[in-house]
Structure 1
Amino acid sequence: MTATLLCFLLAAPVLLVAGSPVHDSNNKTVPLVLWHGMGDSCCNPLSMGAIKKMVEEEIPGIYVLSLMIGKNVVEDTENGFFKDVNEQVSMVCTQLAKDPQLKGGYNAMGFSQGAQFLRAVAQRCPSPPMKNLISVGGQHQGVYGLPRCPGEHSAICDMIRKALNSGAYSDLVQKHLVQAQYWHDPLNDDLYKKHSLFLADINQERGVNETYKKNLQLLEKFVMVKFLVITFNLLHSSLQTETLQESVLYKEDRLGLAAMDKAKKLVFLASKGDHLQFTNEWFNANLLPYLR
């Protein structure tokens, strides 16, 4: 199976469909760090709160840290739109390094934009060590379009769409709009490489940082989940998605992904649901094994 790496969707709060849990009393309690997607927060009882609770029930004794970027859930949600991504990653790196429960290592699970932010943590901050990185609907080659911005944030979404469509690579928009920092316009690749403050850096678009490459390859597993029932429109009708193996990122092995693939460290999974929508049974059967 190949994984589609070029994705054009943003996060919506995770939708869990109720189902029967699978219990296993034999488990290893490696801590878990969660990073939510756009428009969500660390502790939403219908999304991250539900994921945290489910994991804690399935793996008794596990320490689960659901990242809050800010002093409260309101700030956390707003920062998912407006706080410089590099600052967010730096804040998280500091928080993880100071957490005594993570000193022996941890697993990480990111949802939509939170997945690529956690990949930046893996590349930039190897201590404490990230063991497995699970990317649930992450857009690791960026986005080009904003069709799935959460409805409850419609006013913010409309403002973001206008800013991205008119000047995603301007200094002002890049610095103050999270989604602009992983906006990847394939029709203006030179502008993207020159002005992208976040994605072009972690994807080694302006040269190879050997430390990034080395750190990412320290992962035991890099699990990438794509969703098979996806509703979106490209901004340009002639554009097509590409698989990871078809991408320049993989062919030139700028991040060591080809080497990781050869070493069987890459895992490609798929869910039949729409973006970030899956059942408890699917989660338990496909993702819990990497957390035990």
Structure 2
Amino acid sequence: MLSCSSFLIFFLFSWVLLPMKSFAIPIISLDKVRLAINDGASEQLPVVIWHGLGDTPTSFTLTEVSQRVQKLTKGAVYAIRVGDNEFEDIKAGYLGKLEDQLDEVCDLIGNEDSLSNGFYALGLSQGGLFLRALAQTCDAAKIRSLITLGSPHSGINTIPGCSPTNLICKAVVHSILGLGIWHSWIQNHVVQAQYYRTEKQYDKYLENNKFLTHLNNEVLHDNYTRNIEKLKELDNLVAVSFERDDIVEPPYSTGFGWINETTGENIEMEDFVLYESLGLKDLVNQGKLETISFPGRHLQMRWGDFDALVLKYFKDEKEEKTELEESTRPSNFLSTYFVSPLVSAIDGTVDYLHGKSLFPEKRNFKELTMRKRSIVTPEDSEEVYPYISEFVAASNVSEEKGPKSFANLAFITIFSHFFYHIDDMWRSTLGLFSLIPQIIGIIYLTVMFTGRELDTFMQFGGQVVNEFINYVVKVSLKYPRPADIEYGVGYGMPSSHSQFMGFFSAYMIAWDYKYRRSQCFSMLSFAKYAIYLTLSTFVCSSRYLLDFHYLTQVVYGYMIGFGVGLFWVYLVGKLRSLGVTKWLLSLPPLQFFYIKDTIPHSKDNHKRQWLESKQFKNQKSN
């Protein structure tokens, strides 16, 4: 719901916890993935993986990816981790100078004997861009084949985090970018700024950007020819794109293309500047560069397709059948995505409940609306992609069943968005239910600035923390939304709307129990609780019935929010008992705005104020 705000909160939060040692060059390590299979004696070339933004080598998804690659290739697998721990690694994805990070990784690769004879490389999201940078600049990085999944090779023209339809978020981000993106400090410390590119300020981009302009040969520099020659040393460069990528903008960047920033039209790789400047034309003519497109969103692909890529480009000795072939054939659509074992287990629980008829039956895979797209040549499809024909057949549905055109859809965007068919009253009503958190947010702001009660500010602060937790969990699990929703954006687990309502319900009920315990069992209180839970039911149901989320994402979102809400009531109470709130009220800014903390300490506050007002009017009339 607050994807843009969450990104900014995470950015600022990183600086609050940033230790002084982080101003030095971070320590970068290569973590070797070890399994109980022939991992050391094999002559198979190893694979090096560089993860994407907000991820770590030990996350659920990356762990499964690494283990899967190792089982398929029967060789060693290394994962690049930046920093001393997982938090440092996540932070390094946002903050740091890329040239320094790449130099350190290059040195470590050079010191790793098992990589001296060459290796394969797999880059997820921005990790693919960094691996290509290694291939072009690091002599020790003898990469044979490089696969990049959703990597912004041509750059990005906005910070990741805004949905395509969230106009307010986009306006805020573009304003921030316009004010400071070209500043030397930003260019040397913010990772995404170092591959930010816009043709609307192309002169400033060429003048101030020192990473992407050199990497893509958009300016003349000392290593211009070397960049081209080093790319030619690759046996294969495979750029995988996702048709509905909602993280990389423009999404065509993942296939070495761009977008006409005036008309919005796609600029194909062959018509873009990199085709000549980076020598991509020669790679295409030599059969070394392949661009592949999948129909999902960012990093959404079937395990069978992923396995096929690994076997085709990373396997030294081709085998007719692998030990994973049977296990990767999908039984339902959910299990085929790039998801973690934990989320798969959650989905399995819901499958069990569906089998017990406790929930409505899930939609069949063949009912999901996916666009047909050829990703390999016909002669290769049977051999390399054994499940493609099944996938295409399942996705070849009538256009009439798909979403209506953008002109026939109405939408509202206030920190969030929803779509509905104008002639469908049911979906319109459900869409309005999705706006309940926004309405509550407006009420928060209104009460804060009219009542000026510290308790309201603390509750609102808890919602901000709740949103941050939602963002961290989403980027860690990377669980997708339903594939048949055209405009749902970002990852889906857990639902932020449901988590918001879970926090709101828990906080309001627990607050009553803590500060109004003598009244919390009255009929009036039960009526209030029923309203909170009814509103929560409306919101959660709308997110599921409108196909913005799977049922698991809604249920777990509400549970997480409810838990955070209970904890936040306890935490605020603890701060009061320790005198922290009293200290806060003594601060000059809070005194200037007359912030007070009276609600928890006075019962029937509204009735008392009403009586005082009535008494004052009577005295004035007399």
TM over 0.5: yes
Partner of 2:185: 172
Give the stretch that moved more between structures: 178-187 or 232-241.
Answer: 232-241
The 10-residue stretch of structure 1 (34-43 or 236-245) with the greater mean CA deviation from structure 2:
236-245
Query: Secondary structure of the equivalent of 2:307?
Result: helix
1:244 aligns with 2:273: no
Hey, what's the Cα distance between the residues in 1 that align with 2:227 and 2:213?
13
Alignment partner, residue 272 of structure 1: 295
1:253-264 alignment to 2 at 5 Å? Answer: 253-264=276-287
Take 2:110 and 2:174, find their aligned partners in 1: how far apart are those partners? 36
Letter of the aligned partner of 2:66 in structure 1?
A: K
Q: Which runs of 5+ in 1 are unaligned?
A: 1-9, 11-26, 151-158
Distance 1:244 1:77, change over 3 A: same
**Aligned-partner residue type, residue 273 of structure 1:** G
8 Å Cα contact 2:49/2:80 also seen in 1: yes
- The structure showing larger relative contact order (alpha-carbon pairs under 8 Å, at least 6 residues apart) is 1
Residue aligned with 1:68, SS? strand
TM-score using structure 1 length = 0.81
Checking the alignment, whether the CA contact within 8 Å between 2:134 and 2:141 is kept in structure 1 is no
Which amino acid is the alignment partner of residue 301 of structure 2? F
Q: 1:101 to 1:144 in 2, by over 3 A?
A: same
| Higher strand proportion | 1
Q: Distance in 2 between matches of 1:161 and 1:37?
A: 23
Change (3 A) 1:163 1:176: farther
Give the secondary-structure state (helix, strand or coil) at the position aligned to 2:277.
coil
Query: Partner of 2:38 in structure 1?
Result: none
Q: Deviations over 1:111-144 (max 9, x none)?
A: 1111111111000013241101111111111001
**Partners of 1:105 and 1:160 in 2: how far apart?**
41
- Counterpart for residue 211 of structure 1: 226
Structure 1 residues 98 and 143 mapped into 2: Cα distance closer, same or farther (>3 Å)?
Answer: same
Distance of aligned partners of 1:238 and 1:147 in 2 relative to their CA distance in 1, 3 Å threshold: farther
Change (3 A) 1:270 1:96: same
The 3 A distance-change label for structure 1 pair 239 and 106 is same
For 2:134, what is the secondary structure of its paired residue? helix
1:87 aligns with 2:110: no
- Structure 1 residue 63 corresponds to structure 2 residue 76: yes
Deviations 1:56-106, CA, capped at 9 Å, x for gaps: 12222x111110011111111100000111111111111111111101100
| Match of residue 136 from structure 2 | 123
Contact 2:180-2:186 at 8 Å conserved across structures: yes
Preserved contact between residue 104 and residue 128 of structure 1 (Cα < 8 Å): no
SS at match of 1:39: coil
Aligned residue identity for 2:234: L
Q: How many angstroms apart in 1 are the aligned matches of 2:311 and 2:178?
A: 39
Counterpart in the other structure of 1:114? 127
Contact 1:43 1:66 in 2 (8 A): no
For residue 66 of structure 2, the aligned residue among 52, 59, 76 is: 52
Rounded to whole Å, the distance in 2 between the matches of 1:115 and 1:30 is 19
Give the % identical residues: 29
For this pair of structures, how many residues does the alignment match? 257
SS in 1 for 2:266: coil
- Can you list the C-alpha shifts for 1:208-246, whole angstroms capped at 9, x where unaligned? 611111111100000010001233777966333311111
Note closer, same or farther for the CA distance 1:111–1:162 as it changes in structure 2 (3 Å cut).
Answer: farther
Rounded Cα–Cα distance in structure 2 between residues aligned with 1:147 and 1:139: 11
Greater Cα shift, 134-143 or 230-239: 230-239
Against the structure 1 CA distance between its residues 148 and 277, is the aligned structure 2 distance closer, same or farther, given a 3 Å change threshold? farther
SS at match of 1:108: strand
SS in 1 for 2:88: helix
Task: State which structure, 1 or 2, has the greater radius of gyration over its C-alpha atoms.
Answer: 2
Residues 163 and 173 in structure 1, CA contact (< 8 A), matched pair in contact too? no
2:230 partner letter: N
Task: Write out per-residue CA displacement over residues 138-173 of structure 1, whole angstroms, 9 at most, x where no aligned residue.
Answer: 1111001234379xxxxxxxx987643422111111
Gaps of 5+ in 2: 1-6, 8-41, 164-171, 251-258, 316-622
Give the 3-state SS of the residue equivalent to 2:281 in structure 1: helix
